[in-house]
Amino acid sequence: MSDAYEVRLWAMCDDPLLPSVEEAYILTMHDSARLQRPAAQALRRLARRTYVQVNAGYRTGLKEAAVDGPSRDIVHAYKHACGECLKEGHVLILEDDATFMPGATAAHFAEVDAFLRTADFDTYSFGSFGPFLTLGRHRRFMCLVGHAQAVVYSPLARERIRAVDVRAVKHIDAHVISKMARNFTYRRPLVVQHIVPTDNIEEWGCNRHRHTRCERWWVRVWVRMMSGGLRLDRELWGWHVLYALNVATCLVLWSVPAACAAALVAGVTAGVLAA
C-alpha cells in the first residue's frame, strides 16, 4: 500500500495553535497545486509537526482493485495516513483544500486544545455539517457528519479507520466518521473548504443500493444549494449558515420531546383537577 504514497515532513512549529496535537497530515494528490496557495501556509501553524502525504492515485495500478474511483481513493488515503502517524495521542488529518475560516483566532483554537486535552472523543472537526445533539462551546454531532477537510482523530478512531474495508464504504465522513459515537466540533467553523466541482463530488450519494437514484438527486440539490445558493464555491461566509442550520436542527429535535412532555404534564394535571 505504501508504494502509492510519499510522506514527507512539511513544517515544524514550536508554538502551534494546537499544542496537544503532535502531528498533522495533509492529504494531497501528485498532480495537485493546492498547497502552493498562500492560504495553505497557515496550515503549518496547527500542529507541532506537519507532514504531507502525496497520493499517486487509483489509476496508477498501485492499489487493490476495490479502490476503483476518487471516493474510495480518498478512504484509502486516510487508511494509509492513520497507519503512518503516532500510535498514541491525537492526530490532525487535513485535506489539501482546507482553509482557515475568516474570524478564526488563536483564542478559539486554545479552547479547542483545552478540550482535546481533557475530553473523551473519537473525532473533533473544525468544519462539518450535521445535526447537533448538544449546544455549547463544543458541540456533539448526533448521527451524520458531512465534510472532513480538517479533523482531529483519537487513537481509537484511527484504529477504526485502519480497519475499514474500502469495498464496503465510499465516503470517509458519511460512512466512517458518522458511524462513530463521539464526534464533536467547535461552536463556529474554524477550518473549512470551498465546494467546487470535483470527481469526488460527482460520486457523493452513490452507494449502490436501491435508493441510489433518489439519494443522488438529493445530494445534487444539496451541492447546488451550497455552491450556488451559499456561494461556497467562491466565498466562505456560507459556513456560518451551515452551522446555524446545525443549531436549528438541534433546537427542533429537542423541542419535540419537550412539547410531548409538556402535553403529558398538562394532561395529567387536567386529570387530577377533574378528579
Tens-place pLDDT, residues 201-245: 666 655 554 446 666 666 677 677 777 778 888 899 999 999 998
* Interatomic CA distance for residues 219 and 213, integer angstroms: 10
> How many domains does the structure of the chain reveal?
1
217 in a domain, yes or no?
no
Q: CA–CA separation, 143 vs 127, rounded Å?
A: 16
Rounded Cα distance, 131 and 183, in Å: 11
Residue 74 host element (H or E)? helix 70-84
CATH number of the domain at 44, please: 3.90.550
- The model's pTM is 0.86
Percentage of the chain beyond pLDDT 70 is: 82
Identify the H or E element spanning 94.
strand 90-95
**Could you tell me if residue 172 is inside a domain?**
yes
Structural domain including 240 reads 2-194+236-274
Mean pLDDT for the stretch of residues 45-49: 97
Q: Would you state the pLDDT for residue 87?
A: 82
- Is 208 within the bounds of a domain? no
Does any domain span residue 108?
yes
Cell numbers for 243, please give them.
Answer: 452551522
- DSSP states of 184-234: EEESS--EE------HHHHTTT--SSTTHHHHHHHHHHHHHIIIIIS-TTT
Residue 43's pLDDT is what? Answer: 97
* Residue 129 within a domain: yes
225 in a structural domain: no
Does residue 20 form part of some domain? yes
DSSP H or E stretch at residue 10: strand 5-12
Grid cell in block for residue 195? 465546494
Q: For 71-85, how does the pLDDT look when each residue is reduced to its tens digit (9 = 90+)?
A: 999 999 999 999 999
| Mean pLDDT, the chain, integer | 86
User: Is 92 within the bounds of a domain?
Assistant: yes
Q: Which three cell numbers stand for residue 18?
A: 494546537
**Residue 102 CB neighbour total at 10 angstroms:** 12
Q: What backbone phi and psi angles, to 5 degrees, belong to 54? A: -95, 125
pLDDT value for 227:
74
Identify the three-state secondary structure at position 264. helix
- Report CA Rg, the chain: 20
* Residue 95 host element (H or E): strand 90-95
Question: Nearest CA to 60 among 33, 94, 31?
Answer: 31
Q: Give residue-wise pLDDT tens across range 132-164.
A: 988 899 999 998 898 999 999 999 999 999 999
Check residue 189 and give its pLDDT: 97
Q: CA neighbours within 13 Å on the CB side: how many for 233?
A: 11
Count of Cβ atoms closer than 10 Å to residue 35 Cβ: 15
Structural element, H or E, at residue 65: none
For the cut 50, the answer to whether the pLDDT of residue 262 exceeds it is no
Residue type, 158: R
